[in-house]
Chain A
C-alpha cells in the first residue's frame, strides 16, 4: 500500500517528491499517443500560467518597499520638532514651583493663630465642665444613674487634683467629693442589699473600685454577700430535704440550677473584678479568699446532696430515679467545676456518685441477706411442719424428704432470682447515656463493689450462715439440705453468677478479687463440713440409742434370746429413713462388690468361725485382722448416698462395739448379741459402699462380746437365722 501511495505521489505533479523521469516513463508506457499529446499541451498551459503569476507578485512587492522608505524619511524630521517643545515645558514647571513656595510662607502665621484659638476653646470647655460638675453629679445621683456619676467624677478627678491649689478648684473638688461620698454610700447600700443579683453586685463593685475603694475590703464585702445568698439557697435545699417534698431528681435539679449557676456567676464576677487588679497588692490573697468561699459553699452543697441521696437509698428502692438524678447532678457539677477555682469539684461529685453506687450494692446485699434468712426460716418451718401432722408411720411411708429437692430448689433458685434482679437494678448505674458511667474511676470502683461487695459477699454470707448451723440443735435434715445447697452453688450457681457479673459489669481485673476457684473451694469445704456434721449428728443419734440399750441391760442374767431386740429394728428403720432422705438429694454412688444373697451366706460362715474352735478370741481376731484388709473406719465422707450412709453406720457400729466392751456377758447375753448382729448384717449391707466393712465391724462386735463373755457358747446359726427372719 505504502509503495503504491508513494508511487502515486511520485506521479502527482504537485507533490513534493515528484519524480519526473518516472512520470514520463509511466505516461509513455500507459497512455496512447493522443493522450500523451493532450497531456503535453496541458502541462505547457499550466507552466505558462505559473510564469505570469510569478511576475505579478514581484511587481507588487517592489511597490510596497518604495512607499515604506518614504514614510521613514518623514518620521526623522518630525522628532526634531518635538525635542524643542519638551525643553519649553521644563522651564514652565520650575516657575510654578517657585510660586507655590511663596504662597505657603505667606499663609503660615495665620494657621498658627488658628490652632491656638482652638486649644483655648477646649480648655474653656473643660473648665466649664468642672464648674458644672457638682451640679451634673447631683443630677446623676438624683436620677439614679450612679455609673454615669462615677464616670464623670473619674474624668474630672485628675484635673481637680492638679489644680487643687487653686481655691475655686479645690472647693469644686470638695463639693464633688461630698457628693461622691453619697454615691458611695448608695453603692455600698446596694452591695449589701439582699435582692441584688450577682450581675448588679458586679457593677457596684466595679464602680466602687474605680472610686478607689480598697480592693480587699470590697473582696470581703462581695464574698460576704455572695455567701449569704448561697447560704440562703442551701438552707432552702435543706428545708426541702427535711420536709421531703421533692423527689431526688427535683431536688438535685433545683439545687444544681440555682446554686451552681449562682456560684459560677459569683466566681466569674469576682475574678473579673479582683483577680487581675489586686494581684500585686499585699495582704490577703484574693484568690485564697475565693477558694475558701467556694470550698465552704461546695462542701455544704455536697453534704446536702449526699444526705439526699442517702435518704433516697432506703432498702428496696429501685435505682432508676436515683441514677437519673445522679447523672444530672454529676453533669452539672462537672460543667461548673471547670469554672470554679480550687480543687476539682467534679472529683468530689464523683465520690458522691461512687458512694451512692457502693451503698446501693450494700443495700442490695442486706436485702439479699434478709431474703435468704427468710427463705431459710420458711424451709425450716416446712421441714418441721409435716412431723406435727403426720404420725411416725405415715411419715415413713410418705417421707417428708420427698420435698427436699423442692426445698433445695426454693433456696437456690430463690436466691439466684433475687440476685439477678438486684444485679439488674445495679446495672442501671452503668447505662451508657450516663456521664459518670463512662468514667473509668467510677466504673472500676463500682464494678468492684458490685462484685466483691455484693455477689461475693452474699455467697460468703450464705456459707457462713450455712456453716453456722453446725451446732447440736440443728435438725439433721437442714444440715443435709444446706450441704447440698453449698454443693449446688459450687457446681453451677457461683460460676454462673460470677461470669454474669463479670460480663455485665465488665470487671476486667476479676483476678484481683476473689477468684471463682477460691470461692468454689470454700463452698466445697462448707458443704463437706455440713455433710460431715450431718453424718456425725445422725451417727451420734443412733449411737445414743445403741449405747442406752447396751448400758441399761443386765447382760449376765439375761434370758435366752427369742427375738431381735426392738432397738435393732429401730436402728434399721432409722437408717432406712435417713437413706431415703439422703437419696432424695444425693446421687447413689458406687457400691463395691454388692454381693448376691448366696455370698452373704458365706460371709455369715465367717462370723461363726469363733464358735466351733473356741480358741482364744484375741488370737482369732488378730489373725483375722492380719488377713482382712485394714479398714479405715473414719475416712472422709463423699457426696454420695452410700458414702454418707456408710459414715453413719460406721459411727453407730463403732459405738456398739465400744459399749459391748464395757460390759460383761453371760451365755445368753452373748447369744442375744449374736442374734442382734446377725439381724444388722441382714439389713445394713445394702446401705454401704463396701459391705465387708459392715461385716468387719459386726465381727468385731461379736468377737469383743465373746471376749467379754464368762461362758462363751454361741447359738446354732440356723436358730439365729430363724429368729432373725421371724423378725
Chain B
C-alpha cells in the first residue's frame, strides 16, 4: 500500500445513532446503525476499511472488554482493531496516527456509550482513586463543583452567566436532543447538584453511538483533519490547579504546533465537550483570541445528550457536518475530555476545503 505520509487526512463520512434518553436497542444494534450511516456517507463498503478504532469503557457497558461486543458490527473481524478506553476523540486521534504512519488508507472510528444502563454518578464513583477518594463517596460532579467554585469566587457574575449559557445550549439542543429547553432563571433555581452547579447545568446523560471514516489522501474531501493533540493531568484534584486547564493548554499547543498554526489563529467553530457551563469559561481562557469570533456548539453540544466515552467523537461528527454545510466557517476545533474535572484533554483541528 502506498500512502503519502505528508498528504492530508480527510473526514470521508460520519454517522450517528442517537442521542436518546433510553435507546431500547442493544449496543451492537446502535453501533451498526451509526456505522452503516458513516459508510453510506463516505460511499465506502466494509471491504474498503483497513482498520477500526473504537472507544468504550467497560464499567459503562457493564461487561469486560466491551469492544468485543461490537467487533462484528464494525467490520473488525480479520482486521486490525484497537480499543481506546477514553473519550472517542482519542480513538480518532489514534486512527489519524495510523493514517499518518502509512499503515492504512481508510480507518473507521467508532465510539459508543449507553448511559441509561446504570446510574452515571455511581459508575463515576468507581473511576476515582480507591484509597483516598472512593471511601468519601465523591464522584465527577463533586469535583466539578470544586472547580466551578474557584471560578465564581473570583467572578461574582459567573453563575448568572452560566445560567444563560446553559439556557442557550439547551434551546439549541432541544429539537434533536434528549432534554427540553429551560429558561435561565430555571437553570439557576434548579436543585443543587454540587454548588455552585445546579442539576439543570449538567448536560443530560444519553445513549448514542458515533462513527467516522477517516481517509488518507483526503485532498478531494470537503473536510480535512489537520492536526490533534492530547494531554493528561494528575488524577487527584488537590494536586492540580482547578481554576485553569493546563492540560487543555498543552493539548491545544501541540495541535497548533503540529498544524503550524499560531496559537491565536482564529477558529470559526468550536465543538467543545463541556458537561458543565464553567468548562466553557476554562476553554475560552485557554483559547483566548483564537475563539473570539467562533460559533460555539450551534447544535447545543453535549446538552443534546452526553453519551459516556462517545461525546468527543460526537463533537467531531457535528463539526464535520457543520463545516460541510458552512465552509465559510473555515476552521473548527473539536474537543474531548474524560476523567474527573477534565483530567484527560484532547483536541482536533478540522478545516473546510478551500
Question: Is chain B found bound to chain A in the same assembly?
Answer: no
A contacts, CB < 8 Å to B: none
